[in-house]
Structure 1
């Protein structure tokens, strides 16, 4: 093991993550691990430490694709392989950066040489480097969707494909896939979550003794990495040997019909989509038995496999958190237990939960057992969250329960995160049911990250034109290339049928797809919006727009204004779940500082343009247009709106005014913003086809001016 790698057995706690990684090391067919957790929980440290435990691999010295000498890949681009001398090397850990491109992942093909010289010049990518090793994706939820799709397809098929204008390269790509993510920065789509075999939720322990031990070990490692690693060398060696032994035992493990029926019954009871969960659970249960040195799958293997393989497959809408009902799991296993199993001995060795039912919960499982000091099953403190539990028990007193009597409002008010305005504050009300909304786009053609909202030049989509390549040619436009070369063939001395090409002839495709945007909500939370029925409808509308932003891969942010000013309630993020939670907790009441809300939005957008100049914003102002301060305040609001319009900010105003007498102030504000004004009723996609056709010129927002 390299001295600069933190020892795997030195990591305190996190028993479930430890077990999930080791099971994939034993059986890569399990399908990888997705690690979900807050920042600073040693996710990356543990993944990097795992690579030092993997057995070394035999390779062909002249093969760039790490072919196994015992069975070389017949489609290897460096093949066909003869009896070349073989050598051993350590399994690689390949890390995937967040901004990685498709060509860097699958490799790049020199199209100019392929067409002009007939040479298949191929440079292997990261998938080739990770073959028979570990592919680690930090912040996997921040990768573009098409990149994640490509990675997961390669992991599922064990092969990478490169197709470029009739030139095809394919090679083996089998690796242990590990992804880490912080849910606060956004979720993966359910379809992508399902492609990861296992998922593990981790959080920092709340036990002072364990936290002290983590700090103690880290300081010891920083002071002398080599000496620290030597302390755990024996345990690392024993764990590596156990992985090798379990791999050798894996083909001998029998998955009997009783265990298989329990697996399928559990998947059916939890209503998971498709059959991938059943297959992953079966492979995980077999790996668990091999890890424990047994040749038959036991009920406790099935239970633990369910805890690792099902939680992330239980999401039904974007705002659901992954999870598993332990009591339902126990009931299902008991109902489908074979009668003869009742008298069987309990699983042996180091399986601490002993399969006794509800007391054998996942965080108590020390699957890796003798792999070194782990704080005595350090995953155990995570579910109760230690000293933090009592405040969470009081959380329902946030005013979101409609049945609470009015007398409880004073108790709830001090817990609200927002400062109270000068007038009386109304406790938060629940949002109405979300619905499908109309689609609002930013006009023009952008160059932002791929998404599903506004037109943009992207790597995907359909080809709209051709141009001279600015760098390496990656997307050849064959017709345009031939048209550019054809007039010069006589002058170049063409004699046969072959076309003579020069560097200046090549043209690349320009593709148009759709991009994601930054949707910034500016929500009026003042007293004029405080009527409970009205605010329920308004929150339901904003929640619906949040759902739409999730589906279109947008980033979101939220500015709220009430009382004496405006605040950034949610900095721009990819996590619509956090946005929904902030919206649910939003109280109302006080004055209406509309100019402050617009100016705060202008400042937020200014900073975001500096951070991400290619991501275009869409401003959604939710208000009835009234402003405290009379004409002076309305004039200030108009000037703030002019400031936003001058930057070419595309905007939509959600007009929340109701009642028989309407002042039309929100529509006046929309005019100053050069924005589309939409009422709550007009926001719904259902039943507005005639409205969309009638206002097609206004639904497409005005062109964005240059900054």
Structure 2
């Protein structure tokens, strides 16, 4: 395999490169989350960064890469004298990684051969003093994200499992990349990343041309291309070392500290993590540009990188900073800093100018950013739009009946692939938990007189997995957008209900899709996706009016589910139909209601779990939605019954298991 693409050869993406380099200077910033569409050099830049980090002195034979000059409390200690030098590691955490792979587990080889409990380190240990890279971090299970973020924040990993109790050093530069189209991270997890950067493909023709030119040159001769850029990479590596040395001496004046506090207060961020991250980032930025003191330009650069993801309080809030909001916050920060400047230092720090050196340019690595990053545009809309939704509310729990084998989530009951709680196995040995059995037997081998390589087992040692957990489902919303639903009050209530259900799906790790029907046909407004905020955006652009092709809506939903059953067979579907049941159009030219009931029967025969939300309004009710629910073999709820605050209990999506 040829050399990696050089860091200094990455075209543009100045914010991305700046964020990565500042974390290399000051790992205490807390890592970088890189958001962006595919094909924007996210992974290329992260993998190239590891080559810029200085080589490490490590204790020979230590599995945790301990520093000989500052030995930590290490499971492999106490260490003998001596040192060896090696490059900093780049450790990649795959999306399908297990908890054992991340934090480590029982050493099965030693348990089998020596009859002892011993710890086998995981990826957190391997990443110590290096880079831990998580591609598609938004697809990683939440509890794994929590584990690695806890370790990144504390600099240590604590392992308590299978009779093993270990604490080891785990200080690393954490970088996660994600494509927002595949789903968002929860706000509480977003806040744990120090900095965030949104990357986009350049629209400038010259920049795009240079990207392609360099990539083709690299693919034609990786080693030669890397050699041509090696001097530039070496300059960046030296600058990282110099900035690390300078970092401890950089002064953060009280005026700039007040500026930071005022800006964070203006953005109303939760907690104090944002203030600390901005302060650390500003200090690293000052060290990077060779300054002895933090100035206004350092704070502004830090704010642009540290606050965009912290202003999101709702899953459907747009990421990024509005320029007007940022300018207002900076003005408040300026006023707070000026209040502090009543001492001898009258001219104040910074001046608004950028201290770029003679090596300025995209080829030489990032300098302090000079302009605001662009913010994502809101999705365009056209035609008749739905009325503003009513306020969202906490919804009742809608579940798929039975026990599935689906993707990890928080909605319906499911058999998990692994179980952490173990109990004595059944008589036929089904559900045997090998690791739990070995862990139970290992401490007793000497007392049982074991002399050979075999493991001496007793009935009481045998364990089985408890494998039932929760799964995420495919929640397909089928929304009646016809004229009978288009009255302002009713469509507002329906929109508010769907937004509430979408927020619930977001929290429960569901995949979602939206089918709407109006006029002459049904439309897949949103193919099934993990991006719940994309569903909310499509809902905001929902067009209403016309006749009610209910049968077409149900049949279109059936086709969507058939495709998804092939694509993702383990994810069980839940169909949520919002309608008043008034079918007034049919693609067959027959009776619209009869065709709708027939289509509902086909979905029921497929075993699709469903809930019908009756949106009928007014003193005279025809009960047509209830008839559709009966044909679907589904529960039927009134629109107002969706609120968990008004109606207690759990709704089963269908009667049949």
Per the normalisation by structure 1, the TM-score is 0.83
TM-fit CA distance, 1:679: 1.2
Aligned residue-pair number: 640
Give the secondary structure class of the aligned counterpart of 1:229: helix
In structure 2, how many angstroms separate the alpha carbons of the residues matched to 1:682 and 1:60?
64
- Counterpart pick for 1:274 among 266, 271, 276: 271
Among 77, 80, 85, the residue aligned to 1:79: 77
Other-structure match for 2:488: 532
Instruction: List runs of 5+ in structure 1 lacking aligned partners.
Output: 348-353, 399-414, 417-425
Cα 1:119–1:210 change in 2 (3 A) is same
Structure 1 residues 250, 471: CA separation in 2 closer, same or farther (over 3 Å shift)? farther
- For the 8 Å contact 2:609–2:653, the answer to whether it is kept is no
> Residues 130-187 of structure 1: CA distance to partner in whole angstroms, max 9, x if unpaired?
1111111111111111110011011111112222243212221111000111122211
Cα–Cα, structure 1 residues 198 and 328, in superposed 2: closer, same or farther, change >3 Å?
same
Q: Does 1:331 align with 2:339?
A: no
- Please report how far the alpha carbon of residue 118 of structure 1 lies from its aligned counterpart in structure 2 after TM superposition: 4.2
Secondary structure at the residue paired with 2:409? strand
Match of 2:612 in 1: 653
* Aligned counterparts, 1:12-411, within 5 A: 12-76=11-75, 78-83=76-81, 85-110=82-107, 114=111, 117-324=114-321, 325-337=325-337, 338-339=341-342, 343-344=346-347, 347=350, 355=352, 369=360, 372-373=363-364, 383=374, 398=381
1:701 aligns with 2:657: no
The answer as to whether partners of 1:58 and 1:68 remain within 8 angstroms in 2 is yes
Q: Which runs of 5 or more structure 2 residues have no equivalent in the other structure?
A: none
- Alignment check: 8 A CA contact 2:432 2:465 kept: no
Partner residue in 1 for 2:565: 609
Q: How much has 1:477 moved relative to structure 2?
A: 10
Q: CA deviation at 1:469?
A: 7.4
Paired position in structure 1 for 2:547: 591
Q: What residue in structure 1 maps to residue 471 of structure 2?
A: 515
Contact 2:432–2:463, Cα closer than 8 Å, also in 1: no
Aligned residue runs from structure 1 range 661-700, under 5 A: 661-689=620-648, 692=649, 699=652
User: Is the contact between residue 466 and residue 510 of structure 1 (CA under 8 Å) also seen in structure 2?
Assistant: no
Per the alignment, do residues 382 and 587 of structure 1 end up closer, same or farther by CA in structure 2, a change over 3 Å counting?
same
Given that 1:254 and 1:295 are in contact with CA atoms closer than 8 Å, whether structure 2 keeps it comes out as yes
Query: Displacement, 1:345?
Result: 7.0
Give the conservation status (yes or no) of the 8 Å contact 2:405–2:570. Answer: yes
Q: What SS does structure 1 have at the residue aligned with 2:248?
A: helix
Report if aligned partners of 2:400, 2:652 keep a CA contact under 8 Å in 1: no
User: Residue in 2 aligned with 1:473?
Assistant: 434
1:98 & 1:591 partners in 2: Cα distance? 45
1:443 maps to what in 2? 401
User: Separation in 2 of the partners of 1:574 and 1:31?
Assistant: 26
The C-alpha deviation readout for 1:172-219, integer Å capped at 9, x for no partner, is 111100011112221111111110011112222221111111112112
Relative to structure 1, the CA distance from residue 132 to residue 651 in structure 2 (aligned partners, 3 Å threshold; closer, same or farther) is: same
Structure 1 residues 442 and 116, CA gap change in structure 2 (3 angstroms): farther
Aligned-residue offset at 1:545:
0.7
Cα pair 1:558 1:569 within 8 Å, conserved: yes
1:430 aligns with 2:391: no
1:633 aligns with 2:592: yes
Q: Shift of residue 581 of structure 1? A: 0.5
The offset of 1:70, in angstroms, is 1.8
Cα separation, 1, equivalents of 2:561 and 2:146: 31
Query: Conserved in 1, the CA contact under 8 Å of 2:11 and 2:210?
Result: yes
CA contact (8 A) 1:13 1:376 kept: no
